[in-house]
Structure 1
Amino acid sequence: MKPACLTRNPDGRRTLRFGMAAAVCICTLTACDSGSGGGSSADGGQRAAGGGITTVAKADRVPAPQLSGKTLDGATLDVGTAYRGKIVVLNVWSSWCGPCRGEAKNLAEVSRQLHSRGVRFVGINTGDPTAGTALSFEKERGVPYPSLHDPAGKLLLRFPRGSLNPQAIPSTVVVDRDGRIAARAAGGVSVAQLRTMLDPLTARK
């Protein structure tokens, strides 16, 4: 498979474009679409936390977009409704992406560790034209949570401008219990990175 990134057509519409270098598995979306408006700067309360992680102060967080659709196994999922009041980890991935293969076990591990603390994981599979290939990827790696099938990247375009929107495949975005975007990691994530983003949100006060 070939890596994909968002590009703008002459009429102004953004669609998914498949690149030529299949070896490049992380594609920075802002490099392909300078009009996306997202950024990883420290503006608007955003702060680089190290290790490829950016966080947002609670007072400066913006609402996550409405994310819903069919999962890879054909079920219907509305993230905001199903996981209201939960911390939600959104992982953008593709089956052809090397870093996605490497991070899958880490995501699965932390999803099990923190389930009892109100953390729910949801994948957003993009760039895989058919759900079957992506579903096989999840089954082979023991992924215990659902993934929305978003082959054309339409769900990614719903993230608000200037927010911690997904800017690479893979990307991981954390949404707090109030439904607001709290943190983002670009590229494949380790267990330590996931805990860095999640532990402050799950800490009992």
Structure 2
Amino acid sequence: MSLSRAPRAALLTAVTVAGGLVLLTACGGGETGKSGGGDDSNFVTNTGGISTVAQGERRSTGELSGETLEGENLDVADLKGKIVVLNVWGSWCPPCRVEAPHFVKVSNELKPKGVEFVGINTRDRQKGPALAFEKDYDVDYPSLFDPAGKLLVNGFPKGTLAPQAIPSTVVLDREGKIAARSLMALNEKQLRKMIDPLIAEK
């Protein structure tokens, strides 16, 4: 019986090792080329933590419309023809405070080049703290008020570069398609790294 058990034990060990290698390969492969939605999205993650999509492979957002913190209606689709920088933030978020001055500066400098900034304020249950944040940092571009995160769920289809953290920044090209994403707080240099290639596109 010891002779018959030995080959069986060796076979089980080989199957277990092979299975483990397949599992590791599948997990490792899923880290690149896939977004949080789990579908192929054909993006490349640069060393700077910015994910981009090639011009011919980009996908449109879902509906991104609603009421701003100032009580006005805003539909991001109406900004088609411009490059749109979507910044997901909350007044309670320390990294959002760090990046805010950079966003205000770049927004003011690039507006003449056809770049529009739109915030998506989330997890602030009341508008008051968010409005105070905008005042403190001289934020003069609009922010959609999305306390429950519905826009973040419905506005970015499965398989696209969806926001997955706060702060997150997503940049849309002139056709309203998702071109780049960052899941960290950005400084001016990093932000321009996301936008400048889209300004240069024809």
Does the pair score TM above 0.5? yes
TM-score normalised by L of structure 2? 0.79
Deviation (angstroms), 1:45: 2.0
Q: 2:136 aligns with which of 128, 136, 140?
A: 140
For 2:62 and 2:114, the matched residues in 1 are separated by 20
For 2:144 and 2:54, the matched residues in 1 are separated by 28
Runs of 4+, deviation exceeding 2 Å: 37-41
Q: 2:51 aligns with which of 31, 54, 63?
A: 54
What corresponds to 2:90 in structure 1? 94
- Structure with a larger share of its residues in helix: 2
Structure 2 unaligned spans of 5+ = 1-33
Deviation (angstroms), 1:204: 6.3
Deviation (angstroms), 1:59: 1.3
**Contact map agreement 1:127 1:152 (CA 8 A) in 2:** yes
Structure 1 unaligned spans of 5+ = 1-36
What corresponds to 1:178 in structure 2? 175
SS in 1 for 2:95: helix
What corresponds to 1:127 in structure 2? 123
Aligned residues: CA RMSD? 1.8
Q: What letter corresponds to residue 128 of structure 1 in structure 2?
A: D
Report the count of equivalent residues. 168
TM-score normalised by L of structure 1? 0.78
For 1:49 and 1:166, the matched residues in 2 are separated by 17
Q: Which has the larger radius of gyration?
A: 2
- Structure with a larger share of its residues in strand: 1
Q: What letter corresponds to residue 64 of structure 1 in structure 2?
A: T
SS in 2 for 1:184: strand
Q: Indicate yes or no: 2:122 matched with 1:114.
A: no
Q: 1:192 aligns with which of 185, 189, 196?
A: 189
